[in-house]
């Protein structure tokens, strides 16, 4: 059941579920959804009153998760078009020859191919290959730092996630979005550190934030860069 409340100029939509439980629970998901679980028979007005009281917290949580919502502008993959790589802008340079390759050359991402229809796939494959190499190198250094807490991810996986930059599973697997390769190294470090902190604190509690700040004092700077750069 989808309901909503008004809070100032904002409207907060929430999904309401009734169950055999004793108290009302509110969760904000990484996809910015608000889930409310209430005891069977709880009046809707009482639920909405609770939501209004928790509205500032809900809005803060949604704002926190915004850095993990990729908002990439659609690209046409034509000559002269700008593309990001590790936070810097490069222009696409397409050369028609009977070979296939992609490489950085000066301020250009140089794509050589006989078929212009292949440019998108070649560039995306190049991004993915570089993401695997760069993320692994960055992650290994950070994982070593977190060993002092006696935690270590079970694996690092790169996977397309339309609404997340990174995630950490219950079994300790860290998943990273390959689109992060377009952001500066500091943004990549921020996402990895964020997920490593989840190996210790599973929710976004004050203890989680304190640990994240300890391991990356200027994490908010990189969070903001990630929000703005890839918006």
User: In 3D, which of 189, 137, 166, 171 has the Cα closest to residue 65?
Assistant: 166
Query: Per residue in 86-144, pLDDT tens?
Result: 999 999 999 999 999 999 999 999 999 999 999 999 999 999 999 999 999 999 999 99
25-62: per-residue pLDDT in tens? 999 887 778 999 999 999 999 999 999 999 999 988 88
What secondary structure letter does DSSP report for 151?
-
**Domain tally for the chain?**
2
Task: Provide the token pair at 130.
Answer: 């570089």
Q: Are 26 and 15 in contact (CB under 8 A)?
A: no
Q: Residue 18 sits in which domain range?
A: 2-68
Do 26 and 97 lie in a common domain?
Answer: no
Using a cut of 0.85, tell me whether the model's pTM lies above it.
no
Q: Are 197 and 106 contained in the same domain?
A: yes
- Going from the C-alpha of 107 to that of each of 69, 89, 139, 185, the distances in angstroms are 28, 8, 27, 18
Q: Which of 68, 94, 122 is the last residue of a domain?
A: 68
Cα–Cα–Cα angle for 208, 53, 203, rounded to 5 degrees: 15
């Amino acid at each position: 059941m989808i309901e909503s409340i008004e809070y100032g100029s904002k409207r907060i939509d929430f999904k309401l579920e009734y169950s055999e439980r004793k108290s009302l629970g509110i969760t904000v998901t990484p996809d910015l959804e608000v889930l409310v679980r209430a005891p069977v028979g709880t009046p809707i007005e009482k639920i909405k009153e609770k939501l209004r009281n928790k509205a500032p917290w809900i809005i803060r949580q949604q704002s926190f998760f915004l850095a993990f919502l990729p908002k990439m502008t659609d690209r046409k993959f034509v000559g002269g078009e700008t593309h990001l790589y590790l936070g810097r802008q490069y222009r696409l340079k397409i050369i028609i020859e009977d070979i296939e390759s992609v490489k950085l050359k000066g301020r250009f991402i140089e794509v050589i191919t006989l078929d212009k229809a292949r440019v998108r796939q070649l560039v995306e494959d190049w991004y993915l290959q570089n993401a695997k190499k760069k993320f692994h190198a960055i992650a290994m250094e950070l994982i070593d730092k977190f060993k002092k807490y006696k935690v270590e991810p079970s694996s690092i996986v790169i996977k397309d996630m339309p609404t997340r930059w990174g995630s950490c599973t219950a079994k300790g697997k860290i998943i990273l979005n390959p689109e992060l390769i377009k952001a500066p190294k500091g943004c990549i470090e921020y996402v990895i550190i964020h997920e490593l902190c989840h190996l210790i604190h599973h929710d976004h509690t004050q203890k989680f934030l304190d640990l994240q700040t300890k391991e990356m004092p200027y994490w908010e700077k990189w969070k903001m860069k990630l929000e703005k750069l890839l918006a």
